[in-house]
Chain A
């Protein structure tokens, strides 16, 4: 238990900090809204991290699953269904189904081809939603109320929504961590690192990867349903390819190979964008080089930063001691 605590100290501290934010007095709608957005994107990024870090599958179409979750909420709203017990499972199932069907085809490829074929499927969904006249097409669809649970408007309050997002982000992280530690996860990781040996053992990575894709899709669908509720608005922008790229960057910036890095990356990107865009109109002139520098110097991503600093500290102390 203590070993687990030490190993997972960083993610636990991160989750604790997020839980303490409202307690420490930050309760205004704007800040909590921003954090909710970051946490929801964090859920989607964590599910993508399961694919990238766990299975070596860099999908550039993950926002499609996110968007399908959000569009499920909008579609049901259009039909007058706002009951959470229906809406959330429907969003999750729809996104999982999408991931399963596209996975059947895209997993035949690998590497860059996988990136491109997932992008292709994502673009198809994007153009399809753009032409959905009933849901506003490109203009999007405004939700006039959030999802309810047995008639109770649980999601309307800022604090309940904050803790719901946090709870689901924590659950997603825990679930994905356990999944990667399980036999299933070990096969998945082995297939990424030593494909030859896995094949030699008579295991085909294909079904494992397919299941991983479906699970990641389902989690992204969950994030999408939350996103629709947070924004009270759904438009094709949520599943455009730059959004997929954003998710991928959150994973990479946070650190591939650390599941909690995805949440960290999501927070970092959302907050950095908010702060920088406030400082300067041409803030991307700063943000672009920052990303480049982060890649060149932060090899383990943000999640690897504490270890890197600790290592540097030890080295310095060592040198002093000598």
Chain B
């Protein structure tokens, strides 16, 4: 711990010397967007990117009055690739903001160089506990959530629905283990079995057979990307759909185009869904679908909000990014009309917001989307925020 502080202090004068001069009002704001845009999980990255671009479009290509230039970077879901590209963006292209980031492990890879160069990092999906508590950083914000929260929302749902015996199925990596902990933080019933599958799992028939044998009241699962497509389809084929399917990041607008009917009636937890009322929300959905020809999910909405957030902060600072304390203070206010309605940052720069239970529906136009069922958690603060103390 001591070492890190000393290092930080030593690095500050050096980086301060390299700080960009205050830019003229017309010079573009440079933003590096980092997302997973290739491989099986690419649909998540596409949602983030297109949400961001829609936000920029609605602001007529200007953030706080300055034109915006977005560098789109694909992390290929490889930490080393993410790091190399972000270093290039920071050191060669001298970006003012880094936004996006689908997966926590990609965030972890780029976190140090971005924050140590005092560049503002706004994650629009990844929100690991690592940076929510003691590891919080004044230069990091997230417009998404702390990762535990959606899982905890599902735990709350299971608890409220009175399920006694729940079967848990997650991939065998850190985020999977976090999902289990998040769910268990609010679910107090019996967990009949916890199954961890490899990230490259092809076939879920073994797990599906096990669920059928154990006959739980409900299952809770977290299976992002291609994993979720397989699981949902096989779950339906096995005739298990009468066992409630509680999930996070498994049935959403990123995977529904492939899951289609198989996911109908399955549950997920979200901060926003395309059926949210309000003109701003409806306009976003309309314009997004017109431009990209698929339904935006909460990933896209969170990215859209990031554009509005930066815009609001730059308006407050008169377009300047060089005065870091002022920029941070302006961002902390979160003075923008979020698609989610109410939105505020906690002391750790993670949002304090409502969480919803959503369900997969087929819209009249034949497309599949999630729709809100009910509000589960109101003004929820993540469990780590209390431990956050910003240094310097």
A and B touch in the complex (CB under 8 A): yes
A residues whose Cβ falls under 8 Å from a Cβ of B: 28-31, 33-34, 37, 82, 127, 130-131, 133, 136-140, 142, 144-145, 231-233, 235, 237-238, 281
- Distance in Å from the Cβ of B330 to the closest Cβ of chain A? 29
Q: Does A34 contact B84, Cβ atoms closer than 8 Å?
A: yes
- The reply on B172 being an interface residue by CB < 8 A is yes
Please report whether the interface of chain A is mostly helix, strand, loop or mixed according to DSSP: helix
Contacts of A235 in B (CB 8 A): 79-80, 105, 109
Contacts of B108 in A (CB 8 A): 136, 139-140, 142, 233
Once A28-B92, A139-B104 are accepted as A-B contacts, the answer to whether A131 and B172 lie under 8 Å apart by CB is yes
Contacts of A233 in B (CB 8 A): 79-80, 83, 108-109, 112
Q: How far is the CA of A34 from the CA of B111 in the complex (A)?
A: 19
Q: How far is the CA of A133 from the CA of B178 in the complex (A)?
A: 12
Contacts of A231 in B (CB 8 A): 80, 83
Contacts of A281 in B (CB 8 A): 74
- Distance in Å from the Cβ of A100 to the closest Cβ of chain B? 27
Contacts of A33 in B (CB 8 A): 84, 87, 91
Nearest residue (CB) in B for A77 is B3
Q: Does B111 contact A29, Cβ atoms closer than 8 Å?
A: no
Q: How far is the CA of A33 from the CA of B3 in the complex (A)?
A: 23
Chain B residues touching A, range = 20 to 34
- The reply on B174 being an interface residue by CB < 8 A is yes
Nearest residue (CB) in A for B128 is A139
Nearest residue (CB) in A for B135 is A142
Q: Does A142 contact B111, Cβ atoms closer than 8 Å?
A: yes
Q: Does B112 contact A144, Cβ atoms closer than 8 Å?
A: yes
Contacts of A237 in B (CB 8 A): 78-80
- The reply on B391 being an interface residue by CB < 8 A is no
Q: Does B105 contact A29, Cβ atoms closer than 8 Å?
A: no
Q: How far is the CA of A127 from the CA of B87 in the complex (A)?
A: 28
Nearest 4 pairs between A and B by C-beta? A139-B105, A138-B173, A30-B91, A29-B91
- The reply on B375 being an interface residue by CB < 8 A is no
- The reply on B374 being an interface residue by CB < 8 A is no
Q: Does B174 contact A138, Cβ atoms closer than 8 Å?
A: yes
Q: How far is the CA of A138 from the CA of B91 in the complex (A)?
A: 27
- Distance in Å from the Cβ of A7 to the closest Cβ of chain B? 35
Q: Does A144 contact B88, Cβ atoms closer than 8 Å?
A: no
- The reply on B206 being an interface residue by CB < 8 A is no
Q: Mask for B159-200, Cβ within 8 A of A = 1, else 0?
A: 000000000000011110100000000000000000000110
Knowing that A33-B84, A138-B174, A145-B7 touch, tell me 15 more A-B residue pairs with CB under 8 angstroms.
Answer: A28-B91, A30-B87, A30-B92, A127-B198, A136-B108, A139-B104, A139-B174, A139-B175, A142-B109, A144-B3, A144-B7, A144-B112, A233-B80, A233-B108, A238-B80
Q: How far is the CA of A127 from the CA of B173 in the complex (A)?
A: 11
